[in-house]
Amino acid sequence: MEEGGFTLVSRNRGKAAMPRSPPPRNELSQGFTYKSTNKNAGSNGKPKIEQDARSVSATLDAAINSMRISALYTTLLLDLAACSSPIPTRSVACISYGIGSPASSSIALHQLALLVLMHRQFEVTLLPVLDAQTLTPHHAQFTSLEAFDPVFTRLDCEVLKLYGITPIETNERAHRIITGPTLFYMPHCGHTMYSTLLSANWSSRKLSQIRVIGNTFAAYELIPRQAAMQRQSPQLMKVLPYTRAVSMDTVPYGAGDVFNNTSYHWFDGVDEVPDEDSFWTVIEAEVVDDGEVV
């Protein structure tokens, strides 16, 4: 499968598991602690913030090094390496929503570790692909890397900047209209966020350029409250027949429920739906109090 600037091969097409509730984003256990910082910082707090950021960074680096040799990450790279179709672009934007606070949550920190690893993989090694115009090999790259979560603190933002990630200043509520191939990194977000993202880009041209790492979409077909899902996340439910995915939940990861019920998604065949088809009519979602909406 080749389209929209991405290529991926599915290795597991079995039925998805029932969605499990994501773990609390403020979990402090999981066996890591931060080094003490200078309590005599200046009144503006900047020296202390910088020291705290370096401390969190040291913990994050350890998580990155651990994940780099994990079965989960090496399996993900094998999935990518199995791709043989040409990717017709070298530029991929990456946007992360809702990972939580890496400074206070172990789960958020390990999710950030994977994002940083993917960023480095795309920037440094990646798979050689063919330029659609010149048919010469090149390497795809993240052209931008941004992140938002309403729980981000000043410390979290300083940590993100250390890894080349730009904190998003305003709450977009996942209503980001893409301008090119884009990977959305949204582990353990609410289903209404995925549907909002799809609604903002509800055309075959844009959907074919979107990839989402998030809760396994197919699992939403298995939950009993289908009528409510249709009202609350209409575009998500409509696109399910065209959704393809690689599960990231097939390999255990030692840091708890970091990637449970998580898959890498793309949309195949939407370009064959005629523009005048009622499929492309955006259905207004029922407003709900979704605790996972950022």
- pLDDT (tens digit per residue) in 203-237: 999 998 898 999 999 999 998 889 999 999 999 99
Residue 80's pLDDT is what?
61
pLDDT range class, residue 120, cuts 50, 70, 90: confident
Q: Are 146 and 126 in contact (CB under 8 A)?
A: no
From 257, 251, 294, 292, select the one nearest 23 (Cα to Cα).
Answer: 257
Residue 130 has pLDDT above 90, yes or no: no
Q: Of 45 and 153, which is predicted with more confidence? A: 153
pLDDT of residue 6: 53
Q: Which residue has the tokens 């259905």?
A: 283
pLDDT, residue 37, reads 39
Count the neighbouring beta carbons within 10 Å of the beta carbon of residue 207.
Answer: 23
- Contact between 172 and 143 under an 8 Å Cβ cutoff? The reply is no
The string over 98-125, giving b where at least 16 C-beta atoms fall within 10 Å of a residue's C-beta and e elsewhere, is bbbbbbbbbbbbbbbbbbbbbbbbbeee
Region 132-149: what's the mean pLDDT? 66
Q: What is the pLDDT of residues 229-279, one digit of tens each?
A: 999 999 999 999 999 888 888 888 875 689 999 998 889 899 999 999 999
243-272: b (≥16 Cβ within 10 Å) or e: bbbbbbbeeebebebbbbbbbbbbbeebee
**Greater pLDDT, 172 or 134:** 172
Give the residue, 29 or 258, on which the prediction is more confident.
Answer: 258
Residue 111 has pLDDT above 50, yes or no: yes
For 72-134, the DSSP string reads HHHHHHHHHHT--SPPS-SEEEEEEE----TTT-HHHHHHHHHHHHHHHIIIII--EEE-TTT
pLDDT value for 123: 60
pLDDT for 81 equals 62
Q: At 61, is the secondary structure helix, strand, or coil? A: helix
Q: Please state, for a pLDDT cut of 70, what percent of the chain lies above it.
A: 71
Residue 287, amino acid? V
**pLDDT classification of 83: cutoffs 50, 70, 90:** very low
The pLDDT, as a whole number, for residue 272 is 93
